[in-house]
Amino acid sequence: MSKELIQLSNFLADDQLTKSELLALIELAINIKKNPEDYNQVLAGKSVAMIFEKPSLRTHVSFDMGINKLGGHALYLGQQNGKLGERERVSDYAKNLSCFADAIVARVFSHESIKGLAEHASVPVVNALCDLYHPCQALADFVTLSENYPDLSQVKLAYVGDGNNVSNSLMIMAATLGVDFTLVCPQGCEPEQGLIEKTQKLAQASGSKFILTNDIDAIGQQDVIYTDTWVSMGDEDPSKKAAVLAKFAPYQVNHALMAKAQATTVLHCQPAHLEEEITTELFDSELSKVFQQAENRMWAQNAVLVALFSN
């Protein structure tokens, strides 16, 4: 599929995209990155409302600056209106924003809110992170891997840490794209069973391997190791911090693990909790592509926005 043909109506979850659509989005993101001036009027005269129920640095800034680079206008809506569905119904939020905005970007606590926004808005909705998925991040990650490895289908990717929104999106996209994926997490921190089954089916269809294990010794012969916080936003509980640190300690991503895997790249969606899920030394090392990943958030999201507005 050529970059001109990719069209989306929403970007809600990773499983809505086929392999060819994902590859087209990755190609489009790289093309926008190389030739931003070719796309600087795509959102001319358009406004995007950005709802953030949770904190953000990269997502907020990359959407705002990215929309600006496409010639559009971004409006940040923080928590001044309270949680979605509390002060007014999610459906009313969606209908009101549709009166003014040409698209809605939303970072929310619950995937149900994303679904509710998409159901009731008359404009496209983009998931900027929820409890289940972080599709913009995973798309940026595969853009980053495409830039670093000539053949994505040969890349062996491992995620070590908490089974969370970031690993859910990664495993679904990896399985769709045909990338071998190993998820190593402590017992009790696995993804939901439904998502595991979905990933297994996608991996079977694409002919890739999907391994889920609690055994850190499963790491070996991986090209890329990815990690994320051990405690996601909204799950913080100071009384459990010591227990979390003890449970996850064997799953820290550090130089020793990278050497065992003979891995050439470490990825992290950030914010990083240095000396917890990743060592400072590794995060700051030559193996780390975390800032390339961060920059690619903007180009990946701009590819999504271009695909939404090419209808």
The 3-state DSSP composition of the chain as helix, strand, coil percent (nearest 5) reads 50, 15, 35
Distance between CA atoms of 180 and 156, rounded to whole angstroms?
A: 5
Q: At its nearest, how many Å lie between ligand NVA and the CB of residue 149?
A: 23
Q: At its nearest, how many Å lie between ligand NVA and the CB of residue 176?
A: 20
Q: At its nearest, how many Å lie between ligand NVA and the CB of residue 129?
A: 6
Strands of the 125-127 sheet, one edge to the other: 73-77, 47-52, 103-107, 125-127
- Find, among 307, 311, 301, the residue nearest to 69 by Cα: 301
Distance between CA atoms of 269 and 296, rounded to whole angstroms?
A: 11
Which residue among 24, 48, 155, 166 contacts ligand NVA (CB under 6 A)?
A: 166
**Among residue numbers 218 through 237, which ones bind ligand NVA (CB under 6 A)?**
228-229, 232-233
Distance between CA atoms of 211 and 226, rounded to whole angstroms?
A: 15
**Choices 4-12, 27-35, 164-172, 287-295; region in contact with ligand NVA by CB under 6 A:** 164-172
**Among residue numbers 80 through 99, which ones bind ligand NVA (CB under 6 A)?**
none
**Among residue numbers 116 through 145, which ones bind ligand NVA (CB under 6 A)?**
129
Q: At its nearest, how many Å lie between ligand NVA and the CB of residue 220?
A: 25
User: What would the DSSP string read from start to end of 59-78?
Assistant: HHHHHHHHHHHTT-EEEEE-
Distance between CA atoms of 281 and 275, rounded to whole angstroms?
A: 9
Cα 174 to the chain's mean position, in Å? 12
Among 130, 136, 185, 269, which one carries the catalytic annotation? 269
Distance between CA atoms of 133 and 137, rounded to whole angstroms?
A: 9
Residue 164 near ligand NVA by CB under 6 A: yes
Torsion of CA 114, 116, 119, 125, to 10 degrees: -30
Residue holding tokens 């808005």? 121
Question: With respect to ligand NVA, which residue has the nearer C-beta, 150 or 238?
Answer: 238
| One character per residue 255-294, x = contact with ligand NVA (rule: CB under 6 A) | --------------x-------------------------
Active-site annotation holds for 268:
no
**Choices 21-29, 105-113, 163-171, 201-209; region in contact with ligand NVA by CB under 6 A:** 163-171
Question: With respect to ligand NVA, which residue has the nearer C-beta, 137 or 208?
Answer: 137
Active-site annotation holds for 134:
yes
Distance between CA atoms of 139 and 63, rounded to whole angstroms?
A: 14
* Residue 71: count of CB within 10 angstroms of its CB: 14
Active-site annotation holds for 107:
yes
Which residues are registered as beta bridge partners of 64?
Answer: none
Among 60, 107, 120, 268, which one carries the catalytic annotation? 107
Q: At its nearest, how many Å lie between ligand NVA and the CB of residue 41?
A: 31
Among 60, 120, 134, 268, which one carries the catalytic annotation? 134
Residue 110 near ligand NVA by CB under 6 A: no
Which residue among 10, 113, 165, 279 contacts ligand NVA (CB under 6 A)?
A: 165
Active-site annotation holds for 228:
yes
How many residues bind ligand NVA, per CB under 6 A?
9
Q: Could you list the residues that contact ligand NVA (CB under 6 A)?
A: 129, 164-166, 228-229, 232-233, 269
Residues catalogued as catalytic: 107, 134, 137, 228, 269, 297
